[in-house]
Amino acid sequence: MIKPDYSQKVPERLGTVHFIGIGGAGMSGIARLVIGAGHQVTGSDVRDSPNIAQLRELGAKIHIGHDADKLGNPDTVVVTSALWTHNPELVEAISRGLPILHRSALLAHLASKAKLISVAGAHGKTTSTGMVITALHELGADPSFVNGGVISAYGASSGFGAGEHFVIEADESDSSFLHYKTAVALITNVDPDHLDHFGSLEAFQAEFAKFANAASELVVISSDDPGAVAVRELLTHPRVMTFGQSAEADLRVVNLDSSGPKVRFGLSYQGTEVFLELTIAGEHNALNAAGAVCTLVGLGFDFEASCRGVELFAGTERRFQLHGEVRGVCVYDDFAHHPTEVAAALRGARATVGSGKLITVFQPHLYSRTRIFAKEFAEALALSDQVVITDVYAAREDPEPGVTGETISSRFKDEKKVHYVASWDDVPAKAAQLAARG
């Protein structure tokens, strides 16, 4: 994993821009913006993906695999924290003395002339960002945006708009969210994560407080999440708005019904109550919607119109996304990779399936997270009827001896509901064996 280096100034002329690891949600979104700004884009990644296919259609030249000989002749190179320092294209770029920008530095540059709305938090960032973007479009604001997932209604994770607002999903994992010139900071929650980077919960919370206090106009933060409440106490910002189910929240969630496939609830603000029914499930999405609406009214938009705009949000890819139904078995995909996210996704899944059977296939993400939260993962996954756990997706980390998917499966109290299947190739057969109509 490489650490972001913000000492490199953004060149006045970007020229041809090469993205190492271009297929990721954040990198592909920024690459799309750079193409839209009229630059030639090249890139590489370890595997093909729909994101890469879309970029190729827009004219990007992308090769699969990392090879120094394939770097080409770019004027600027963009990297992500997920890269290793020995990546051959990165090593070649350094040897040539090329300008090398962390993706967040380039994004900060692209958004520098707009009113920047930065959405941060351990969970719910992608959905909340998508809700703000959708509502701003409906309100006629035409924002620019970069999200961490493809917004279903637009078929893209980024876009340039003609309006004054720029909305981004701000990544806290490597502290890069501190480097944006944020006008409005929305913090969904501050559940402990990325402790391998921050070292302690206190340091994690302090970083969020630093991010929020730097916002030039407004901070919007959860009134319910314990971590967010702790961060709220660290804030010195003159304008803070809160949202949630708490009686003290500026914008309250009331009459919540998350028992079905579409969450239903009211939002109460300054004596006015508006009823919403989202197209997506889960109590967590009602809270995401509340944060989005709170941000919009804080920006000066009409409360009811903001609610109606958020209500039109139709989801993002890999956030409880239905892929199809075969012989009465529905298959969904969700990016949940923290115990709190997993539990929220599974409560939404339970509401969707009703009296049917809930089978969860889980691939742990990161060795450090698997080791730190093994017990919590087991407790969250136990909300399912049956669970298949496979081995860890390493992402940016080296393997840790003794840390596997079995680190989680061995923590289950009911051994009959969990199945450890080390090889991903063997997972579909096991899931099919467990599945039946309904």
pTM across the whole model? 0.76
Q: Give me the pLDDT at residue 204, please.
A: 84
Task: Collect contacts of 40-49 with beta carbons under 8 A, ≥24 apart.
Answer: 40/15, 40/16, 41/16, 41/17, 42/16, 42/17, 42/18, 42/72, 42/74, 43/18, 43/19, 44/18, 44/19, 44/20, 44/70, 44/89, 45/21, 47/23, 48/23, 49/23
Which tens digit of pLDDT belongs to each residue from 318-343?
777 888 888 889 898 888 888 888 88
Q: Give me the pLDDT at residue 420, please.
A: 93
Does 168 have pLDDT greater than 70?
yes
Does 200 have pLDDT greater than 80?
no
What is the spatial distance between Cα 28 and Cα 23, in angstroms, rounded to a whole number? 5
Domain 321-434: which topology? Protein-Tyrosine Phosphatase; Chain A (3.90.190)
Locate the domains of the chain by residue range: 17-102, 111-311, 321-434
Share of the chain above pLDDT 70, in %: 95
Q: For residue 204, which of 187, 223, 188, 191 has the smallest C-alpha distance?
A: 191
Does 256 have pLDDT greater than 90?
yes
Superfamily covering domain 17-102: NAD(P)-binding Rossmann-like Domain (3.40.50.720)
What is the spatial distance between Cα 40 and Cα 256, in angstroms, rounded to a whole number? 48
Does 349 have pLDDT greater than 80?
yes
The average pLDDT across 253-264 equals 90
The catalytic site residues sit at 125-126, 169
Q: Give me the pLDDT at residue 84, please.
A: 82
Q: Give me the pLDDT at residue 198, please.
A: 60
pLDDT band of 76, cuts 50, 70, 90 = very high
Which tens digit of pLDDT belongs to each residue from 353-364?
888 899 999 999
Domain 111-311 and domain 321-434, same fold? Reply is no
Q: What is the mean pLDDT of the chain?
A: 89
Q: CATH says 111-311 is which class? A: alpha beta
Share of the chain above pLDDT 90, in %: 54
Does 194 have pLDDT greater than 60?
no
Which tens digit of pLDDT belongs to each residue from 365-393?
888 888 988 999 999 999 899 999 999 88
